[in-house]
A and B are shown apart, each in its own frame.
Chain A
């Protein structure tokens, strides 16, 4: 499974758009990019998944350039409740041994 690199931490004010970038230079042809969110003392929760270009759901958008060597999770108008750790994962759908890495700790400031 491809390794990923993401910032260790980010701070943002409430109401701003937050973009978290993930690098995955060794992404394979059949790999998808998946983001999970984790609050303290809870298990991770699926946010969004994409293969190329742009994917949007009710929570976030995922931007993937043509070379697929990076991706950006975009959270519109964050609130205090978006304070969490965000993990970028790369691998085939249904992969059994997902690699989470250390994630990006997002802190939303009032």
Chain B
């Protein structure tokens, strides 16, 4: 396995259009996360899946955002009616569920999908 992969790496769209990003996590990882990162800031948590269940959503995830992980493998993040403020890097990460004490819970990030809304 080559790690977490995201597609597309870059997306330029016009305001009002819908966009969808895909994330393929490391195959044995059952946890999957979406983060958003704007220039000069650290990544901000958007949402988290354990297998196919979306267990937590940030207040940053407005109604225009929807994420799915239908079979507990890959995930998609869709943004409807994009706005210029949605321009950011969208990062996906995956991790193993902790089953033993003292495991690090390390997140493995993809290289991100950069969205530019004109």
B14-22, B35-43, B63-71, B77-85: which lies at the interface: B35-43
Is the contact region of chain A dominated by helix, strand, or loop, or is it mixed?
loop
Known: A102-B41, A103-B42. A43 touches B91 (CB 8 A): yes
CA separation between A95 and B48, bound complex, in Å? 10
Give per-residue flags for A15-44: 1 if the beta carbon is below 8 A from chain B beta carbons, else 0: 000000000000000001010100001111
Known: A46-B104, A100-B43, A102-B42. A94 touches B93 (CB 8 A): no
Specify the chain B residue showing the minimal Cβ separation from A87: B42
Q: What are the residues of chain B within 8 A of A97 when measuring CB–CB?
A: 45, 48, 56, 58
Say yes or no: is A53 at the interface (Cβ < 8 Å to chain B). no
CA separation between A32 and B101, bound complex, in Å? 12
How many residues in B have their beta carbons less than 8 Å from beta carbons of A? 32
Q: State the total of A-B contacts with C-beta under 8 angstroms.
A: 64
Structural contact, A100 and B109, CB atoms closer than 8 A: no
Partner of B105, one of A42, A85, A93, A102: A93
Q: What are the residues of chain B within 8 A of A61 when measuring CB–CB?
A: none
CA separation between A69 and B109, bound complex, in Å? 28
Structural contact, B103 and A94, CB atoms closer than 8 A: yes
Structural contact, A94 and B48, CB atoms closer than 8 A: no
Structural contact, A44 and B105, CB atoms closer than 8 A: no
Q: What are the residues of chain A within 8 A of B58 when measuring CB–CB?
A: 97
**Interface residue ranges of A37-82 to B (CB < 8 Å):** 41-46, 49
Known: A93-B98, A96-B48, A102-B41. A43 touches B4 (CB 8 A): yes
CA separation between A41 and B114, bound complex, in Å? 9
CA separation between A94 and B109, bound complex, in Å? 15
Structural contact, B40 and A43, CB atoms closer than 8 A: no
Specify the chain B residue showing the minimal Cβ separation from A39: B111
Q: What are the residues of chain B within 8 A of A46 when measuring CB–CB?
A: 104, 106-108
CA separation between A100 and B44, bound complex, in Å? 7
Specify the chain B residue showing the minimal Cβ separation from A93: B105
Residue positions of B touching A, CB distance < 8 A? 4, 31, 33, 35, 40-45, 48, 55-56, 58, 91-93, 95, 97-98, 102-112, 114
Beyond known contacts A34-B104, A49-B106, A93-B104: 7 more, CB 8 A cutoff: A42-B112, A43-B4, A43-B43, A43-B93, A93-B102, A93-B105, A97-B56
